[in-house]
Amino acid sequence: MPSALTLERLRRHAVGRSLFAPTSLEAAIDKLGFVQADPIRAPARAQDLTLRHRVAGYHAGDLERLYPTLSVEEDYFVNYGFMPRRYLGLMLPRTPRHPWDRTTRARAKNVLAFVKERGEVHPREVDQRFAHGSVTNYWGGSSNATTQLLERMHYRGLLRVVKREGGIRVYAARDDEELRADEARDPKAKAEALVAIAVAKYAPMPDKSLRALVSRLRFGAPQLVKALSTALASARRELPRAVVDGVTWYWPEGEDPSEVVDDADRVRLLAPFDPVVWDRHRFEIFWGWAYRFEAYTPQAKRKLGYYALPILWRSHVIGWTNVTAKETDLEVTSGYVAGRAPRDKAFTRGLAEELERMRDFLASPPRR
């Protein structure tokens, strides 16, 4: 049992273990286990904003540029994002709750044969070959039926993303033997491994968050619902844990959350889905206020802004800022929980340094 475990120590440990010393891109994704993706650029995509703190010399767009050279997969976990390739077999092949009808099965079969014949395909090529037309998407608008079918085939594990061209996914077929091998793996072992990966990413976590996290894993592995429920029960029995201020907290075996890593006078602007702030329940316990992602909230109802980036000062999230990249510089508007910025020269200097890092991150990267 860790000694002198307090909420302050838990908070500092959570920040320190997630914001590890910058390393290579592949090593950072491997250490994180999963990086959530989001298409909005304000001022950059969420995956880039997350990785810039953890990858040495990282620039916006590096993940997309270097993806074909990495042992990384763009796929589904608790959300959509990027993960080490070796994790993908834990979730494949997926069997969604709603099976395809006969027409969709026939279309998917024909498209899969076409992809295998071509090796790699852009959705435009598939559409030109089959002309599937358009369908109504989840938001009530019109989507290209070919794009939607390719996404659904990707979700089921029939296709993988090999690269992007102008932000558009380019697909290839998965190896049939690998899919059969994935299907033959023990569901119990898969579920336990997935829970361990998720806990390692988001620990230390309160019991409510652990239960919610395992529920989210059903997004990436819907066929493992029963096995995940069993794995959750095992995790709640077997993971190291402690009760702090009436809340039960869990963390991976071998860690000591009473150990903290100091990050003196450092300011960081975090992505809305950064693992430090992703768990909104833990966020409110740690920092005593509610952060909300409001990009899809009507403008009149927004309180923090379109794409508010939490401001981490030392080990405390003290406010938020909206950053817009203009032609000549950054436009920055901030808000603070206390009503004003800290009257501390170290914070002022730290914020200026962080904004300079942001400028460098958004600039065109040097040629490799």
Per-residue pLDDT of 22-74, as tens digits, reads 999 999 999 999 999 999 999 999 999 999 999 999 999 999 999 999 999 99
Residue among 326, 312, 314 nearest 271 (CA): 312
State how many domains the chain has.
1
Per residue in 167-224, pLDDT (tens digit) is 899 999 998 888 888 888 999 999 999 999 999 999 999 999 999 999 999 999 999 9
Q: What angle do CA 328, 271, 335 make, to 5 degrees?
A: 70
Dihedrals φ, ψ of 292, to 5°?
-130, 140
Structure tokens, 51: 């990785």
Q: What is the CATH number of the domain that holds 164?
A: 1.10.10.10
Residue among 67, 152, 51, 62 nearest 101 (CA): 152
The range of the structural domain enclosing residue 136 comes to 102-173
Mean pLDDT, all residues of the chain: 92
pLDDT of residue 77 exceeding 90, the answer is yes
pLDDT of residue 368 exceeding 60, the answer is no
Per residue in 158-183, pLDDT (tens digit) is 999 999 998 899 999 998 888 888 88
Residue among 302, 317, 315 nearest 271 (CA): 317
pLDDT of residue 257 exceeding 70, the answer is yes
Task: Enumerate helices (H) and strands (E) in the chain, giving the number of each.
Answer: 13, 14
Residue 143 falls within a domain, yes or no? yes
Residue 137 falls within a domain, yes or no? yes
Residue 95 falls within a domain, yes or no? no
Residue 66 falls within a domain, yes or no? no
DSSP code at position 68: G
pLDDT of residue 249: 98
pLDDT of residue 266: 92
| DSSP output for 113-172 | HHHHHHSSB-HHHHHHHH---EEE-TTSSEEEHHHHHHHHHHHTTSEEEEEEETTEEEEE
pLDDT of residue 139 exceeding 70, the answer is no
- Rounded Cα–Cα distance for residues 18 and 14 (Å): 6
